[in-house]
Structure 1
Amino acid sequence: MFGQPSIQIKQEANVAHSKRFAPSSSGSRKIQKRKGGKGKGPTVAAECKGKAKVAIKGKCFHYNVDGHWKRNCPEYLANKKEKEGATNHVCSSLQKTTSFKQLVESEMTLKVGTRDVISAHAVGDAKLGHINLDRFGRLVKNGLLNELKDDSLPPCESCLEGKMTKRHLTEKRYRAKEPLELIHSDLCGPMNVKVRGGFEYFISFIDDYSRYGYLYLMEHKSEALEKFKEYKAEVENLLSKKIKILRSDRGREYMDLRFQDYMIEHGIQSQLSAPGTPQQNGVSEKRNRTLLDMVRSMSYAQLPSSFWGYAVETAVHILNNVSSKSVSETPFVLWRGSKPSLSHFIIWGCPAHVLVTNPKKLELRSRLCQFVGYPKETRGGLFFDPQENRVFVSTNATFLEEDHMRDHKPRSKLILNEATDE
């Protein structure tokens, strides 16, 4: 992986350093050519002894003159050599050469910036531990190596075996022009902590155009198809459009025959990322990572670890209503067509006094609970009652956010990670 050979190398080939049309000064050699061949001129004989004495008879079709053939025309050969830029030759004849050597297997010749020709047995790359091309460039710049004239270097199999890495995806990703044109999906789990209700997984669906996301908690991976059907029915009815493309990884839940048959039946194109390249499904991968980071940050509240399911649903609701660097407007604006209101946002896990329904005469009119999320079907909030160990919906609550922040402890007790799947 050091230099581009300036010639084709074959084992046991003769490499000769040539001087341009310099006569050989040692020995004599007689070459008989075109004996009995078909040509327009007679047989040509060439002798080299001391000074070259060449008796040539023929016509040069390059300059249209008599006295020599085109192949022996000095001016034609000089022009041809300048165009090819060759300073060495592989040939069966040693005529007009000053020196030669026998190449061994895997040996190559290199043409360097000084117009010299050097032979190397995998010199620079092997002797220098297969360093990369940038290091070679710095060695040339510092004067430790001669500059290579040809930068189109051949691949080195040793480097490929020892240093090959993943290809960087530099091409610009396609962006959808309207909602539901392209949907990103990814399944996360099983998690190391189960959610209330026995949920271990969650699957996300993100619209590429608006980056508006949906999330569904699941007990088993096999529920992925049912959750997709639920998502498809809701969003297509909401927007009066059809899902065209679903992009996902090659998880078994997406490769399942029932899932693929359902996609084909409804005319939805399936785009699967290549094995070992999660970047191709980067929108969903990054969204899931962001959600888990938000859950860990929100979990300082005095709530059991099993409440991370409410926290991740709250995180999705927040991301849908705040600005994103991927789109010009908030996802809610691009998805619903109207500006969202942020006045209803409450610190997750903060205490709140919630009105007790139908209290007795001497009972307390409110009960101290904790805010755990936003319900999908109605207005209000989700509250956890530690006395009754239940979660309920209420619109009558007074939040103690200032007290919550004053007693805030930044250390998070929740260690939430994706467990190794079987």
Structure 2
Amino acid sequence: MTQINMNFASPRLMLVTGGAVKQVAEVLGKFGLSRPLVVTDPFMVKSGHVQHCLDPLAAAGIAASVFSDTVPDPTDTVVETGVAELRKGQFDCLIGFGGGSPIDTAKAMAILAAGGGKMRDYKAPFAADKGTLPVIAIPTTAGTGSECTRFTVITDVERDEKMLIAGLGALPLAALVDYELTYSVPPRTTADTGVDSLTHALEAYVSKRANPISDALALSAMALIGANIRTAYAEPRNAVAREAMMLGATEAGLAFSNSSVALVHGMSRPIGAHFHVPHGLSNAMLLPAITRFSVPGAEVRYAAAARRIGFAAAGDGDAVAAAKLVTGLEQLNKDLSVPTPAEYGIKEADWTGKMALMAEQALASGSPGNNPRVPSAAEIVGLYREVWIGAASNR
């Protein structure tokens, strides 16, 4: 047996149950916190969904302020605005309420407020281990896993670059994982965030930095997501499917936070930065082609993933199972109506014109180095081209 060399980080408290958000005041009380700034988005405020968080706080006599200027792909400028808001009050914690964007914004605010400067100063490989205030994370989508990871992804507006920020400063103090908050999530978001969490689990499992604990979490997440993603997409109020997807997303988040993501995420971030494609959707666009490229580097692991997701049978040999993984991911995209880059509205000239820069940015993120088959810049450009050609042939 090879010697194990790993470390594992997670929130100090994780409350995973239907109705967990109702206990937010109690959770703050456990840590002696009473002056929260709730970081959310405009839709959560306009729809009244944020009241799921604010009402229990008010009932406990906790007056919360709200910062709701977050955007779908968090930017350094929004984070700076949030830090300015944070410094106006005597807050002792941040509550990230919403999808991955508000939670990522809250994490980045804590890091930037602690060290000052610009958000780009904290870009990986910098170890962003300091946060000025603890973050309580309450996700309303089953996808990013941000509620339990030591990562946040922020776009540098000036440089048009999605930056990976990694460190213990981004790790929430507590996470309240309440699947009932996902009932109102629309099908497109359910699909995109679901594939995002599946990608987290798969990449954590095949990563060169995988470890026994991340393996167990990734395998469990793949089984939950594989069995329930189509039902959650087709039946938004199916409690069993929603609960399974929420648990799977959290397990996948813990898995990749303590292992790593790999080539899909490395190539996905530039697509989001340049073409404003939602993160989970850009992962879905890339996942089949990149999996096909990567299988030779870890066929046994990809085969095990195919069996766990449900794409391959227990008796299938590794080569057969790995091939079924690729075709299964392609079929899943069709079943979830995942648009191609062309169908999303990206122009071919714009896509091809950015491929070299996107490849450079993907490699700079470090994520491709964790892939079981590490690509060159030219191979990444080739993969971007393959994704586009596939898009053209499917129009």
The structure richer in helix per residue is: 2
Same-fold status (TM-score > 0.5): no
Higher relative contact order (CA 8 A, sep 6+): 2
The structure richer in strand per residue is: 1
User: Please, what TM-score do these two structures have when normalized by structure 1?
Assistant: 0.23
